[in-house]
Amino acid sequence: MGVVILLVMAAGVAAMLTRRLPTAFALVVLAVVIALVAGAPLTGKDSVLDTVLQDGAPALAATMIAILLGSWLGKLLDETGIAGTLVRKIVEFGGDRPVVVALGVLAVSTLVGTVTGSAPAAMLAGIIGIPAMIAVGIPKVTAAGTILMGIAAGMPFELPVWQFFSTALELPVPTVRGFMIKLFPFALAAAVLFVLIESRRRGVEHTWSAKSLAPKPRPGRRARLGDAPWYALLTPVVPLVLALGLDVAIVPSLLAGVLCCLVTTTRPREMNKRLLRTLYGGFEVAAAPITLFIAIGILLAAVKLPGAIDALEPLVKAVSPQNAVLFVLVFTVLVPLCLYRGPLNVFGLGAGIAGVLIAAGIYPATAVLGLATSYNQVFGVADPTSTQTVWSAQYAGVTPQQVMVRTLPYVWAVALGGFCVTAATYL
């Protein structure tokens, strides 16, 4: 039975890899098939319809709300010009030294990465940041990689991600936060080293391009209004300070960020319009990740069914290293399996595998948290199929594969650091 479930999972990965099915749809199909193979009844307790679909779909509701609020705040940062102003100031102050500009854009990307994730985060920092870096001579692959490494450095403090791991792995938020604080130095060091080493290795690049005079699209609302005031530039750190420093819960922290952004940039009579406009825009941005989280909730419910646990436990136990050194070695070698929507992608089948590891009692939930968040650092930067990587690469005029090759060594090292901390702390 366990082998059949693993074969079903492999088929699901193949369907995602070959893009026969969108990831979210593939995960739902996978969940239903796993439940049926595990012998779950159609209705009633531990059933396909009531447990997997009905209870599973809203299981990550708190994450969905956090994603929506993060997207809303991201939209506000965009419309009020806060992100753009930060990048413009960095170029004005540090434009003489391309590496300073890249480090500044990295810092902005890190801030943005604490608020929201995926392609919207890349766009928020990259729409001005990538061409600004290229304009001062940063090579295109390095420019795209800087945005992604910056977002990944902010990811350990991305509040919706805390909520996701807390709900999916059934861990209290402070536990998730505790590990993220340990993971952050690795992510930040890798990001800074990426900029310094790649700038040193590749130098600067200037082109005489026929496209240099091409008119850009009409400036947005913020561009016509000018820069955001300096005190508004502190907005991205507000949720972080509240959640990390003052222990405020995730949803109110994000709402405080929205409020701060609004009152520091918007005239009272325009507030209602702006709030509604950006909220609806936030729904559009959040639609894709929310769909994915519905599917992940369904998959988690399926792999936690008693029949699935009984079937998978002996198999997974047999191949899961218990020795700390082996744990680090094996999971470091397996890092590429989280790329290309592979089986260790935590926003795909990896969530199901994490669920199995916990439900079967193979590793403590905290160790699985360490594995999942470490893989997330790799996937968030180097996966050529993830939306932020595709967007950043294409916007810079290079391929996602070029970005993957350049960034993978750095994020692989971050994952190694995460595994070491996990093995030392939780095994």
Partner 1 sequence: MTAPPDLAATDDIEFGVRLLAATPTHEGRDRDLLRHWATVATEFGARLGPVPSRARVVERDGGLAHGLLARYTSRPATVELYTDTLARAEALVDERGWRHWYPAGSVRAAALAHEAVHELLHHGPAKAELKHALGHVVLRAGRRRLYGHVAGAEEIAAHAHARTVCGLGRSPLLLTAALATADTHPVTAPHGREK
Site residues (CB under 8 A) for partner 1? 84, 87-89, 91-96, 128, 131-132, 135-137, 139, 200-216, 219-220, 223-226, 397
Q: Are 165 and 117 in contact (CB under 8 A)?
A: no
Q: How far is the CB of 142 from partner 1 (least distance, A)?
A: 12
Q: How far is the CB of 207 from partner 1 (least distance, A)?
A: 5
Round to whole Å and give the CA distance between 152 and 191: 8
Nearer to partner 1, 62 or 138 (CB): 138
Nearer to partner 1, 94 or 178 (CB): 94
Nearer to partner 1, 138 or 254 (CB): 138
Residues near 242 by Cβ (< 8 Å), separated by ≥ 6? 248, 252, 253, 256
Crossing angle of the two packed helices 140-154 and 98-115, in degrees rounded to 10:
40
Q: How far is the CB of 200 from partner 1 (least distance, A)?
A: 8
Q: How far is the CB of 212 from partner 1 (least distance, A)?
A: 6
Q: Are 373 and 179 in contact (CB under 8 A)?
A: yes
Nearer to partner 1, 55 or 227 (CB): 227
Round to whole Å and give the CA distance between 282 and 291: 14
- CA 104 to each of CA 108, 130, 237: distance values in angstroms, whole numbers, following the listed order: 6, 12, 16
Nearer to partner 1, 85 or 385 (CB): 85
Nearer to partner 1, 181 or 223 (CB): 223
CB atoms within 10 A of CB 44: 11
Q: Are 7 and 320 in contact (CB under 8 A)?
A: no
What token pair was written down for 273?
């319009």
Q: How far is the CB of 224 from partner 1 (least distance, A)?
A: 5
Q: How far is the CB of 201 from partner 1 (least distance, A)?
A: 7
End-to-end CA distance of the chain: 29
